[in-house]
């Protein structure tokens, strides 16, 4: 037990077990014991989970990315625009959207790495800008399959195939495609952070950027890379969001950055940088996901829900700190 509490992963596992135990107690007439409840929870957290993977990369490097929610919204709008309204194929739409995400991310990264703007400020600016751009592109309306026809009235056009592919479930209906996307994103982020040289260098920068610089690590290059990857992941999350909603909502992803940060921190990755990793974020994703699902199946009112979520976040983080 002591051993378990000694590392952040052990503490996060214990928090997760406690949350699941709450679900077992308040199981809403047995709903909690059904597989589809868990499957739906995994679908629900997928978009957040992809953002949390993005967040982990920049947090490890001692930064933070407040723009993930807005970039998700921007990507959802762009993807819907390309594939629904402009009729582009699946591949060009996905690639173009991912490019936009990566470019936005590298702009933040450039401001931080090259011009020494604080990550909080640089990504705050990107958060506001990207939301504005999403609204500008979409004229503030959701980009859906209802388009204005030749006579000025709205007509309905069929949903592009790529939406159905991402929105469906596979393996005998047992897992959502978006959940698989999240797993791929988490895996990619894990490989990058723990198995590649630039990934290891991000830990060095997050731990002590002066020391990293003296040992020959290029801070501007690595910072741009970290935020570009974050933007790329946000674009993937935006595509997943649009495919599930069957539309691109310029308001999509508002406040999602807060959930992503909560997932990273509850897992045990410190916002100071240099420590932690994807394995912890996965636990954080599951903790928040189960918490949301348990509150939802029990139809807990919004007021109580907010208070409980706040209490549980602070309790989980304190628990992480106490052990450290």
Partner 1 sequence: MTMRIVSILLYVLVFSAPSFPQTPAFTIGMSQCNLGEPWRVQMNADIKKAAAEHPELRVTFKDAQNDNLRQSAHIDEFIRSGVNLIIVSPKEAAPLTKPISDAYKKGIPVIVLDRRILGNDYTCFIGADNKKIGRAAGRWIAKLLGGKGKIVELKGLMTSTPGQDRHFGFREGIKGSGCEVIFEADMKWLEPNARKEMESALSRFSQIDLVYAHNDPGAHGAFLAAKAAGRDGKMKFIGIDALPQEGRMYVKQGILAASFEYPTGGREAVETALQILRGKKVAREITLPSRVFTKDSIDKGGELLP
Binding site for partner 1 (CB under 8 A): 28-29, 31, 34, 36-37, 40, 43-44, 135, 139-142, 144, 146, 153-154, 156, 167, 169, 241, 244-246, 249, 251-252, 292-293, 296-297, 299, 301-303
Query: How many other C-beta atoms are found inside a 10 Å radius of the C-beta of residue 3?
Result: 7
Q: Which is nearer to partner 1, 7 or 296 (CB)?
A: 296
Return the bridge partners of 175, or none: 170
User: Are 55 and 112 a contacting pair, CB within 8 Å?
Assistant: no
User: Are 263 and 122 a contacting pair, CB within 8 Å?
Assistant: no
Q: Which tokens in the block code for residue 301?
A: 């009112």
Q: Which is nearer to partner 1, 25 or 197 (CB)?
A: 25
Q: φ, ψ for residue 175 (rounded to 5)?
A: -150, 140
Give 147's DSSP letter.
E
For the CB of residue 312, give the shortest distance to partner 1 in the complex, in Å: 18
For the CB of residue 319, give the shortest distance to partner 1 in the complex, in Å: 26
For the CB of residue 289, give the shortest distance to partner 1 in the complex, in Å: 11
Q: Which is nearer to partner 1, 306 or 318 (CB)?
A: 306
For the CB of residue 23, give the shortest distance to partner 1 in the complex, in Å: 12
The CA dihedral of 250, 52, 39, 167, to the nearest 10 degrees, is 40
The three-state secondary structure class of 169 is strand
Q: Which is nearer to partner 1, 89 or 132 (CB)?
A: 132
For the CB of residue 250, give the shortest distance to partner 1 in the complex, in Å: 9
**How far is it, in rounded angstroms, from Cα 44 to Cα 25?**
22
Q: Which is nearer to partner 1, 188 or 292 (CB)?
A: 292
CA-closest candidate to residue 313, choices 264, 276, 278: 264
Angle at 131 between CA 130 and CA 133, to 5 degrees: 60
Tell me the residue length of the chain: 324
Angle at 115 between CA 113 and CA 120, to 5 degrees: 70
For the CB of residue 34, give the shortest distance to partner 1 in the complex, in Å: 6
Q: Which is nearer to partner 1, 274 or 289 (CB)?
A: 289
For the CB of residue 253, give the shortest distance to partner 1 in the complex, in Å: 9
Q: Which is nearer to partner 1, 59 or 252 (CB)?
A: 252
Q: Which tokens in the block code for residue 262?
A: 């909560």
């Amino acid at each position: 037990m002591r051993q378990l509490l000694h590392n952040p992963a052990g503490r996060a596992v214990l928090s997760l077990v406690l949350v699941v135990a709450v679900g077992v107690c308040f199981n809403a007439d047995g709903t909690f014991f059904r597989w589809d409840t868990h499957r739906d929870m995994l679908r629900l957290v997928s978009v957040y989970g992809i953002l949390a993977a993005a967040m982990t990369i920049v947090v490890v490097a001692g930064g933070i990315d407040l723009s993930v929610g807005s970039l998700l919204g921007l990507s959802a709008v762009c993807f819907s625009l390309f594939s629904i309204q402009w009729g582009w194929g699946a591949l060009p739409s996905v690639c173009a959207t991912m490019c936009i995400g990566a470019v936005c991310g590298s702009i933040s990264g450039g401001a931080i790495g090259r011009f020494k703007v604080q990550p909080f400020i640089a990504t705050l600016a990107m958060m506001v800008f990207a939301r504005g751009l999403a609204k500008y592109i979409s004229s503030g309306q959701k980009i859906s399959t209802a388009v204005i026809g030749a006579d000025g009235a709205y007509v309905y056009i069929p949903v592009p195939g790529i939406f159905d592919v991402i929105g469906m479930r596979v393996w005998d209906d047992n897992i959502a495609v978006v959940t698989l996307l999240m797993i791929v994103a988490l895996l990619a982020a894990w490989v990058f952070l723990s198995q590649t040289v630039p990934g290891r260098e991000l830990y060095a920068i997050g731990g002590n950027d002066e020391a990293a610089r003296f040992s020959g690590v290029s801070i501007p290059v690595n910072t741009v890379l970290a935020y570009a990857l974050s933007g790329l992941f946000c674009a993937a999350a935006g595509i997943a969001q649009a495919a599930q909603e069957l539309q691109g909502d310029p308001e999509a992803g508002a406040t999602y950055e807060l959930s992503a940060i909560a997932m990273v921190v509850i897992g045990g990755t410190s916002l100071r940088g240099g420590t932690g990793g994807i394995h912890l974020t996965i636990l954080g994703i599951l903790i928040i996901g189960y918490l949301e699902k348990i509150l939802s199946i029990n139809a807990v009112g919004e007021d109580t829900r907010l208070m409980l979520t706040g209490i549980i976040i602070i309790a989980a983080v304190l628990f992480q700190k106490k052990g450290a």
